[in-house]
Amino acid sequence: MAVTQTAVVTPVHPVTPPKKVKRPRSAAERKARLEQILAEFDRLFPAATCALHHRNAWELLVATILSAQCTDERVNKVTPELFKKYPTIEAVANAPQEEVADDIRSTGFFNNKSKSIIGAARKILTEFNGRVPNTIQELLTVPGAARKTANVVLGTAYGIASGVVVDTHVQRIARRLDLTKNDDPVKIEQDLMKVLPQDRWVLFSHQTIHFGRQICIARKPRCANCPLDPICYAKDKTLV
Ligand code: SF4
């Protein structure tokens, strides 16, 4: 999952070394710091949303399953033909697995993904009257839909804040910003759900993913361009 807008360009400035950044000591300071982070995200990415092309919850579910270990751009190249060839959930449910695998080959892990997509179609037809369910409990029973996928579908297709999408960007940035000390995505999500207001869960994920792609990148984060530098004490800040 990703976002499509362009970030506001921020000026280059000397980077504050991590040890010189004052850590929040009290709950009030932590709250104020989080509000600053959210305000900067809003300034940078006010309308961040999902970049996976889709027209309904089913298409978003399929696109999200395909996006595992694959770029959104690649998925967006594959899905138009896929949805044209299989225009309904029934068409996917009845499709030969080898053929679907071939159709999605360029997204990688195509055997597992094709099994998940066909399994999801069958489950939705037989147990949910052909409609992608809109609760996290039900979605988690659908093949291919773990928490991340379920949160993407609920948040973007249904506008339901059931949790926080934790992908590789959210995982890294939540740790750099000291919003979690965990490595496990499930635990990170729990930490974020505790500190973030529920009405920020969906937008925060989109904004963080964008922030991770443009500024707080995995290797050599662009700290000199980062408006969060004055409050960031991440050990791996880039000081040059
Ligand atoms: S880019 Fe990342 S590591 Fe660097 S100052 Fe910003 S939040 Fe901190």
Q: Among 239, 218, 219, which residue's Cα sits nearest to residue 229?
A: 239
pTM of the predicted structure, to 2 decimals: 0.89
Amino acid residing at 110: F
Lookup: tokens for 112: 């597992």
pLDDT of residue 240: 74
Lookup: tokens for 220: 């050599």
Which of 170, 180, 217, 223 to probe ligand 1 with, by most ligand atoms within 8 A of CB?
A: 223
pLDDT of residue 2: 44
- Distance between CA atoms of 67 and 84, rounded to whole angstroms? 19
Per-residue pLDDT of the chain (240 residues; tens, 9 = 90+): 544 555 555 668 899 999 999 999 999 999 999 999 999 999 999 999 998 999 999 999 999 999 999 999 999 999 999 999 999 999 999 999 999 999 999 999 999 999 999 999 999 999 999 999 999 999 999 999 999 999 999 999 999 999 999 999 999 999 999 999 999 999 999 999 999 999 999 999 999 999 999 999 999 999 999 999 999 999 999 997
pLDDT of residue 118: 98
CA–chain centroid gap for 72, Å, is 11
pLDDT of residue 3: 46
CB 69, CB 109: distance < 8 Å: yes
CB distance 229 to ligand 1 below 6 Å: yes
Place of tokens 């939705």: 124
* CA 236 to ligand 1 centroid distance, Å: 8
* CA 113 to ligand 1 centroid distance, Å: 34
pLDDT of residue 12: 85
pLDDT of residue 5: 55
- Distance between CA atoms of 186 and 171, rounded to whole angstroms? 10
* CA 65 to ligand 1 centroid distance, Å: 30
- Distance between CA atoms of 56 and 80, rounded to whole angstroms? 13
Place of tokens 């997204």: 107
Q: 158: helix, coil or strand?
A: coil
